[in-house]
């Protein structure tokens, strides 16, 4: 979205919604801030080391050596590493739920800001060919009318100067929600959910898979597997939030 379009959007939102935080309804917050005030920012916890070198799960304490958590040792993961910007606490999960399922799209600038704060400096160090948002099944995309991973990928791609690649992987099976499943059931649930759009269309490109929330890594690993089987080189994962 260019600057002029953003200005018109902000003006339209301001006409219908007062510049008040849409979470606490007490403090001032503008459209450019995603209608989230500075007080509500205090509910967020950014992820900092130490964390699992494979999946990015944060750990308390003063761990100074590289380590891999028990979740990763117990699963076959197809990405090199996964990282996230913030912890998926109840506050953030509620906000993401409202964004995804209630179409409260005014939160998007706030979510994109959270994503870019940590993703941008980290991913600038990698020579990436593009960002692959985790695709939705066509039925779910029609119901929701947008793919949150694809929308969040665009500002990051613009900042990195690389494309969003939506024509590499498709979701071919609808899957039940992962929320109530353990890590092995999650992996089984998405094992055959994705397929390449055009087989053998990649030639060693380094890619990053993007999604909104990572818990066990089953979904993003399934996408990474398809990319690697289709000819990609290393696959990284970045998500907005990390479940604990």
Residue boundaries of the structural domains of the chain? 43-242
pLDDT tens for each residue of 182-238? 666 666 777 788 999 998 899 999 999 999 999 889 899 999 999 999 999 999 999
Distance CA 116, CA 124 (A): 11
For 131-168, b/e burial (b = at least 16 CB within 10 A) is bbbbbbbeeeeeeeeebbbbbbbbbbbeebebebbbeb
**Tokens representing residue 111 in the block:** 């979510």
Residue 228 CB-density burial (10 A; 0-12 exposed, 13-18 middle, 19+ buried) = middle
pLDDT value, residue 119: 97
CA distance 89 to 94: 9
Average pLDDT over all residues of the chain: 89
Please give the structure tokens belonging to residue 214.
């990572």
The CATH code of the domain at 43-242 is: 3.40.50.2020
Cα separation of the two ends of the chain: 33
Residue 11 is predicted with a pLDDT of: 59
Length of the chain as a residue count: 244
The number of C-alpha atoms within 13 Å of 151 and in the hemisphere containing its C-beta is 21
Select the highest-mean-pLDDT range: 16-20, 112-116, 185-189: 112-116
Is the pLDDT confidence value at 169 over 70?
Answer: yes
* pTM for the whole structure: 0.88
Distance, in Å, from the CA atom of 236 to the CA atom of 244, rounded to the nearest integer, reads 20
């Amino acid at each position: 979205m260019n600057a002029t379009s953003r200005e018109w959007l902000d003006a339209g939102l301001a006409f219908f919604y007062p510049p008040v935080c849409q979470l606490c309804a007490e403090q001032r917050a503008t459209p450019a801030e995603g209608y989230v005030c500075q007080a509500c920012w205090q509910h967020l916890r950014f992820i900092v080391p130490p964390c699992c070198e494979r999946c990015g799960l944060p750990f308390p304490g003063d761990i100074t050596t590289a380590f891999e958590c028990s979740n990763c040792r117990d699963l076959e993961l197809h990405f090199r590493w996964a990282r996230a910007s913030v912890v998926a606490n109840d506050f953030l999960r509620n906000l993401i739920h409202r964004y995804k399922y209630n179409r409260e799209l005014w939160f998007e600038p706030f979510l994109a800001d959270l994503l870019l704060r940590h993703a941008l400096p980290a991913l600038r160090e990698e020579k990436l060919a593009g960002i692959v948002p985790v695709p939705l099944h066509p039925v779910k995309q029609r119901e929701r009318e947008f793919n949150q991973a694809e929308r969040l990928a665009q500002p990051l791609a613009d900042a990195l100067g690389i494309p969003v690649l939506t024509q590499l992987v498709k979701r071919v099976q609808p899957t039940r929600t992962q929320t109530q499943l353990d890590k092995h059931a999650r992996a089984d649930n998405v094992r055959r959910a994705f397929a390449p759009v055009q087989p053998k269309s990649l030639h060693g490109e380094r890619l990053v898979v993007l999604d909104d929330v990572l818990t066990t890594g089953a979904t993003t690993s399934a996408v990474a597997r398809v990319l690697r089987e289709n000819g990609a080189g290393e696959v990284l994962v970045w998500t907005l939030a990390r479940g604990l």
